[in-house]
Structure 1
Amino acid sequence: MIIRSRFCLIGDSGVGKSSLLLSFISSSVRDLSPTIGVDFKVKMLTVGGKRLKLTIWDTAGQERFGTLISSYYRGAHGIILVYDVTRRETFENLSDIWAKEVELYSTNHDCIKILVGNKVDRDSERAVSREEGMALAQQHKCSFFECSAKTSENVLKCFKELTLKILEVPSLLENGSVVVKQQIMKDKQAYQAPRGGGSCCS
């Protein structure tokens, strides 16, 4: 039996959402142009002896796409909130903008959230400490990882942690396959944005 699950990556433009996704999907990263609207990838993963089909939505961080993006929070099993450890404003915007959007638009009360600080390969340029990231994660009651899409550090671990937590929540599994399949088909039909893009980052 294949369990279907749906994730969203959210955060400011340029924090590395598309690069994290590409690193997870293909174990490679290249320079990417900014995502226009919303893009998605599908990944099969075996975790804890269970076979999962993950549909992962990569959202643009620009405010002008906010109305479009809000629809992709609905029904999500997992949400990864991403900031750039070298740009403090992207960290502050998680609380000021993105966490509020999740509360406003997410229809799944048991949705699992993970906070990710990306670009730790550029530690000499760090503007947000690991301790600050951990404190924000604790405040929002979610797991915390520091990752590098460029080196793939902690990327697989992050996605596996999110998947494991989803498997621990019966309501997410019960509502999973049928509802998520229906929502994915609906989203694909409505999906009009070009698919060649991604946030430019390491």
Structure 2
Amino acid sequence: MRTKKKKKKKEQEEEEEETQQPRRRPSAWRREGVFQRDLGMVETLSIAVIGAAGVGKTSIIRRFVYDDFSDCSSPTRARRVYRPSVVLNGHMYELKILDVPPIAAFPSSPAQEWLDPRCRGVRNASAYILVYDICCVESFEYVKMIRQQIVDNRSKGSSSSSDVPILVVGSKRDLQRQRFAQRRTVSVLVKKTWKCGYVECSAKFNWHVLLLFKELLGIAVARGLRHNHTSIRLQGAAQEPLLRHVTARA
């Protein structure tokens, strides 16, 4: 009887079923996280990862959070939430990474966001990672559409996404010979015209996966998260940031 009560209590205390928790890290890192939490120094950053079907969004997230990869992946049909923590330049940050299934359009209103469970939390995300497959031009067109919709909804119709931290990620870099366009061509468009960050990566070979999260946090730091989120100010932010995992929130 006591065992059943303990089991029930444990289930009630757990996060929602969709939340994915990373493995525990070394105790020294955990102590650092607890110390900073007690002082109220932990910042929270919500990151929505969006892209067309089959571009490798989940593979990138799982490589970053769990450091694993599977060639046998299934399509993401429901929104999933991952909650790793990282240290950047000596400051600890709780990340809430939303793995968003393919959506027809960025939700244009809170009502639309609420009606579609896949979109919940997307409108108010602190930052966005837009993923496309470097071998699939259609997936890039999807990113192009979603980026413009984010700009229209989050920047009040501005032609620039300068107020919204957005990182465009070209996935499957290991298939370089099959790409539909030169890297420089895409990079110039994204950086110069869209005013977004740009990184290419390979989740399969763990190439530049950590870098893309460094890049995104760097953009968020530079722009101060001005959209109703706690500002991030780091010492030495102009220098290359140091990013490493610590324990997830208990």
**Which TM-score bucket, shorter chain as reference?**
0.7 to 0.9
Which has the higher relative contact order, 1 or 2, with Cα contacts under 8 A spaced 6 or more apart?
1
* 2:170 is the alignment partner of 1:117: yes
User: How far apart, CA to CA, are the structure 1 residues paired with 2:106 and 2:221?
Assistant: 31
Share of identical aligned residues, percent?
28
Partner of 1:2: 42
Whose helix proportion is higher, 1 or 2?
Answer: 1
Work out the CA distance in 1 between the residues paired with 2:227 and 2:93: 11
Distance 2:149 2:119 in 1: 8
The count of aligned residue pairs is 176
Can you list the C-alpha shifts for 1:111-157, whole angstroms capped at 9, x where unaligned? 21111100010112212320222023121101111111111111101
Between stretches 125-134 and 80-89, larger displacement belongs to: 125-134
The counterpart of 1:22, out of the listed 62, 67, 89, is: 62
For residues 71-101 of structure 1, give each alpha carbon's deviation from its aligned partner in whole angstroms, at most 9, with x where no partner exists: 4332211101110011111112222x21133
Report the Cα offset of residue 38 of structure 1.
1.2
Quote the offset at 1:163 in angstroms: 1.2
Task: Please tell me the residue identity of whatever aligns with 2:187.
Answer: M
Q: Is the 8 A contact 2:51 2:102 kept in 1?
A: yes
**Does 1:146 find its partner at 2:200?**
yes
Match of 2:220 in 1: 166
Return the offset for 1:105. 4.0
Moved more, 31-40 or 44-53: 31-40
Determine helix, strand or coil for the equivalent of 2:147.
Answer: helix
The runs of 5 or more residues in structure 1 that have no matched partner are 178-202
Given the alignment, which residue of 144, 147, 152 partners 1:99?
Answer: 147
Pairing partner for 2:91 from 50, 53, 64: 50
Based on CA coordinates, which of the two structures has the bigger radius of gyration?
Answer: 2
Structure 1 Cα separation of the partners of residues 42 and 131 of structure 2: 28
Root-mean-square deviation (CA, aligned residues, Å) is 2.5
CA distance in 1, matches of 2:210, 2:79: 22
1:13 has 2:64 as partner: no
Letter of the aligned partner of 2:204 in structure 1?
Answer: K
Alignment of 1:59-98 (within 5 A): 59-63=100-104, 68=116, 69-95=118-144, 97-98=145-146
Alpha-carbon separation, structure 2, partners of 1:29 and 1:75: 29
**Partners of 1:33 and 1:103 in 2: CA distance:** 30
1:40 aligns to 2:88 (yes or no): no
Q: Which has the higher strand share?
A: 1
Q: Is the 8 A contact 1:75 1:107 kept in 2?
A: no
Most deviating of 153-162 and 166-175: 166-175
The whole-number CA distance in structure 2 between the counterparts of 1:101 and 1:34 is: 24
Structure 1 pair 45/122, CA: closer, same or farther in 2 (3 Å)? same
* Aligned residue identity for 2:180: A
Other-structure match for 2:187: 134
Matches of 1:59 and 1:24, distance apart in 2: 16
AA of the residue aligned to 1:141: K
Tell me: CA distance 1:51–1:81, structure 2 relative to 1, closer, same or farther (3 Å).
Answer: same
Code of the aligned partner of 2:150 = V
Aligned 8 A contact 2:130 2:168 in 1: yes
